[in-house]
Structure 1
Amino acid sequence: MEKDQLTVIDNLKGLNEGHIIYFFEYIDAYIKNVIDFAISGLEQDQYSIIIENDRISPLILKGLKEIVSGSQLNKIKFINNYDFYFAKGDFQCASIFDYLPSLIKDYSKQQFSVRSWAHVEWGDVQEIHENLANSEQEADIIVKENRLLSVCAYDADRVSETTRNNLISRHGFLINDYPR
């Protein structure tokens, strides 16, 4: 399903739902954006699910610990992105809802509001670009049906122009990346 319109944004403030694509170039700006995303979720009494790699997660966590309390930190959950996307043996868009019961004690859709941030990475798998588009289309449906706020982040250097355009067509928002 192709998008009719893409809204370009500089930050996530004020957004409560939507499917956002983010091609990052600057790691410091990226980490700041993840932290801002999680804090904005706390301000709206939402859980934040951060799907990230083992190199960047500690940097995000360190930044969060400088700003939020321990009880607030309990509402920010991390999932290893490799475990999330390759749980079924090959690259697939696992539904965040499959993970929530194991992350949030007594989780139920009716009681908890959730937002997700996913750093999408892959190895040197050739067919991954087609799978990316299919996974993002699935994710777009899940985001709309559940009225979620979901960010899909990609390292700009790892995405071809063709794949980039294909991914953009499956999102309603594009966040800019710039050094802060």
Structure 2
Amino acid sequence: MQDYYELVGDNRIAYNMRPASFGILKTEFKLMPPVQVLDVNAEANAEYTDWVTFLAAYPLLSDPMKRILELYNPRARFKQMYLVDRSYGRQELYWVPQIPAQDVLSPETEFHAHDQTLKHLVLDRKKIKGHHFFQPEGLRETCLVVSLRAAESLLRRNLSGFNLQKVSLS
């Protein structure tokens, strides 16, 4: 029996950067160019973590995090995004992921009645079929899930900017 975890942003990060504009982050993945630049505003001591979320549809993954996660899902696609802070002359490579959705939701998954957003995620153990990095199909929001094996790979490399929330299984 394997455990699964949702990747979520770490709200304890004190010095994160902010995008100058959210426009490009609202674009559908298939319409994004393969390489793009996102201007960010950051302090001199801003922490460029391995997992970055900007209240947008996509998390951004650092190059080391992307290299690990693509091993756990060869069908995942990624597009380059350079975060550029012109005031400090800093440029960092990140990746926008498109993770194939998997039909893994349990009927026990709960949604908020007013807007059908996720209230409590429950995955069907039989439907997971050995997937290690995936997005559950049928959710309004982006939700990326990793197996215990994938989570351990991330943790062994001391990657930052995310927390792992254990997912319920049925």
Give me the TM-score of the superposition, normalised by structure 1.
0.25
Comparing both chains, which one has the higher relative contact order based on Cα–Cα distances under 8 Å and sequence gaps of 6 or more?
Answer: 1
Give me the TM-score of the superposition, normalised by structure 2.
0.26
Q: Which has the larger radius of gyration?
A: 2
Would you tell me which structure has more helix in proportion to its own residues? Answer: 1
Would you tell me which structure has more strand in proportion to its own residues? Answer: 2
